[in-house]
Structure 1
Amino acid sequence: MASAAPKVPPLPLVRFLTRVRDGLAALQRRMVPGHIALLELSTVGYLTQAACAAAELGIADALAEGPRQPADLARAIGVNEDALRRLMRLLISGGVFTQRRDGAYQQTGISEGLRSDAAVSLRDLFRLLGSDLHRKHWTTLPESVRRGRSLWPETEGMEFFEYAEQHPEAGELFDRAMTSVGSLATEPIQAAYDFGRYGSIVDIGGGRGSLLLDILRRHPSMRGTVFDLPRVVESLPEQLLGPGLTGRLTFESGSFFDSVPKGGDAYLLKHIIHDWNDEDAERILRTVRTAMESEARLLIIDVVMPENQRPHPGKVIDLEMLVQTPGGRERTQTEFGNLLSRAGFVLTRVVPTVAHVSVIEAHPSW
């Protein structure tokens, strides 16, 4: 029997608790001298890199079956025992792992997410964040701010997406990392938005189709199409087609700048529009509009940037877009509305979720 879907907490409760947490953090920073608060801020990146190392070394996978003594764990993952102890000391102090009284290392609820086989695994995301390539490009942030754009053409001779095409290993890691990030929002999205009113959904730039697969499994009469680049789509049928999906799930390849499949009741764009500047985003949306019937709906799943000064994950992701993409950015509701209007749509509503994303619904204006 399949396990029950995790319960999603009410959005007002999540917002309240988030504000309390952020308020306490801000109060703590105000209660110490500014240079001390700044020094504490500098250490956050070190803990992140330690977690990235743990992901790359497979520490959480090695602890999946139970606690292990340091020497045993070091042998299992092929590392120096003394260096492992030093790495784990920082990770334990940050709550990522724990250590029993007998000295054995043990998983926590946090480290479970670094396991390859976790229900929601972030191992590939942390491997990406800790990679030489990702760190290299974040060192260009000051110059990206000066110029207002990514420096990929100067550093690699091409834009990021072209690089991912030409370097399959990097592209594969990126695809897996984005799938893992997307899985965080799947249940919140399903809880917030009713996909059951559509007979068919076309997932544009759908990657491995994780959200679409989840939607189809919950709605047995629905049909779906995953549309993405040939390198992404070519191996998907043998990976994804299984009981209950054969005949309901199809795959098409191409570029969303040229054309997309016709005939869908809804067109899904998850984490696509934020990768592009306004001109290219409008081109993508116009291509989708051309394929849509007047009754069809456009569903953009992306961050909707708050118009306030409080902490929000989108503010981090927005800088990632600046550093890594050819003009990508996160947008406010007003900016989405203007973009959609220029592309031939009317913004119907924005449905927030308890995750960092919202569902932006629009219908054709002509």
Structure 2
Amino acid sequence: MASASLKAPPLPFLRAIAWLRDGMYALHRRMVPGHIALLELATAGYLSQATCAAAELGIADALAEGPRQPADLAAAVGANEDALRRLMRLLISAGVFAQRRDGAYELTGMSQALCSDAPVTLRDLLLFFGADLHRKHWTHLSGSVRSGGSLWPELEGMEFFEFADKHPEAGEIFDRAMTSVSSLSNEPLQAAFDFGRFGSIVDVGGGRGSLLVDILQRHPSMRGTVFDLPRVREGLEEELRMPGLTGRLTFEPGSFFDSVPKGADAYLLKHILHDWSDEDAERILRTIRAAMESEARLLIIEMVMPQHHRPHPGKIIDLEMLIQTPGGRERTQTEFGNLLSRSGFVLTGVTATAAPDCVIEAHPAW
């Protein structure tokens, strides 16, 4: 798994761009008639699904070696030429792809992230978002709002994580999607936070270990362990055999509700706590606390929910957690502080990054 080579712009610059973008978005919504603005929102889902279809068809991969004429592209991805033209017409209008004067289609900066081998690829994430199972549950959002929780038990007979464990194909799509989204924040996290001050790290619930592998590649004296369910190991085989990581990167199977490896300098929880209710999150944190030495540190990587009313990715993912998980949610800094305090920790700092993720650092309460 190669480390992403894309460098994150400075955080102040990104904040200024976000402020300008949000202001323009708000101005647009105020300038057009209400019913037009609402219609734009209502049809945004069509564009989203069209982009997911492009990921499923492998259009970006087919264009990775250069522009292609419509007939050639249709043959390459196994599509009807007329239907493909209609799909591309919509995606081109949104800047996902481009069309040259000679009629050939080509990649844009946006669609480069749909390529399977891009430094930061979102193809697997879009395959997950566009899958029948995922869309099905989003159609029941109103039901989750009424009930206050996920409808997975009612719709599938079990919670999502149990379903993913019993249905390997769904679990594989989910695991690859999480690795995909994880790659988005690796470079910004490395730029903002000094992971090199630790000699050893346990990545709790680390999946395919995207961030941990990146950290170990940058710090040759460090050791790391991915701790996750046994089925995850198969997806880590390539990383475990990587030159320079053999013997430094290990895998230990288990459940973070029962126990985690002892004695590490730091324990990493990336995109884990937001999957769980406060009660279950406390159980996870107390399990980690029991394994930690007094000088060890806990590093929680999550989005921290803002208090403002401007757009923020956390406000979307918070609903994803409502729909898909047994009590999961995005949390504010105050909510993280209270959760940590109840679990035997002291919150010592929150480091913002150029990505939506933050690093929430805590130490055991003495």
TM, length-normalised to structure 1: 0.98
User: 1:4 deviation in Å?
Assistant: 9.2
Q: 1:182 to 1:165 in 2, by over 3 A?
A: same
* Counterparts of 1:129 and 1:284, CA distance in 2: 27
Establish whether residue 34 from structure 1 lines up as the match of residue 34 from structure 2: yes
Instruction: Give matches, 1:126-145, under 5 Å.
Output: 126-145=126-145
Q: Which residue of 1 aligns with 2:44?
A: 44
User: 1:233 deviation in Å?
Assistant: 1.8
CA contact (8 A) 2:96 2:111 kept: yes
Residue type at the aligned position of 1:284: I
CA contact (8 A) 2:213 2:239 kept: no
Residue type at the aligned position of 1:72: D
Instruction: Give matches, 1:1-366, under 5 Å.
Output: 5-366=5-366
* Counterparts of 1:48 and 1:183, CA distance in 2: 20
Residue type at the aligned position of 2:248: R
* Counterparts of 1:81 and 1:101, CA distance in 2: 18
* Counterparts of 2:301 and 2:3, CA distance in 1: 26
User: 1:3 deviation in Å?
Assistant: 9.4
* Counterparts of 1:74 and 1:5, CA distance in 2: 32
User: 1:5 deviation in Å?
Assistant: 3.7
* Counterparts of 1:311 and 1:3, CA distance in 2: 29
Residue by residue over 1:252-280, the C-alpha shift from the partner in whole angstroms, topping out at 9 and shown as x without a partner, is: 00000000000100000000000000000
CA contact (8 A) 1:237 1:251 kept: no
User: 1:308 deviation in Å?
Assistant: 1.3
User: 1:43 deviation in Å?
Assistant: 2.1
User: 1:32 deviation in Å?
Assistant: 1.1
Residue type at the aligned position of 1:310: R
CA contact (8 A) 1:200 1:222 kept: yes
User: 1:167 deviation in Å?
Assistant: 0.6
User: 1:246 deviation in Å?
Assistant: 1.1
Percent same amino acid at aligned positions?
Answer: 78
User: 1:288 deviation in Å?
Assistant: 0.2
Residue type at the aligned position of 2:341: S
Unaligned runs of 5+ in 2: none
CA contact (8 A) 2:3 2:214 kept: no
Runs of 4+ aligned residues of structure 1 deviating over 6 Å after TM superposition are none
SS at match of 1:348: strand
* Counterparts of 1:221 and 1:238, CA distance in 2: 20
* Counterparts of 1:36 and 1:310, CA distance in 2: 20
Residue by residue over 1:319-341, the C-alpha shift from the partner in whole angstroms, topping out at 9 and shown as x without a partner, is: 00000000000000000000000
CA contact (8 A) 2:114 2:121 kept: yes
CA contact (8 A) 1:137 1:323 kept: yes
SS at match of 2:346: strand
Unaligned runs of 5+ in 1: none
* Counterparts of 1:295 and 1:212, CA distance in 2: 20
Aligned CA-pair RMSD: 1.2
* Counterparts of 2:5 and 2:97, CA distance in 1: 26
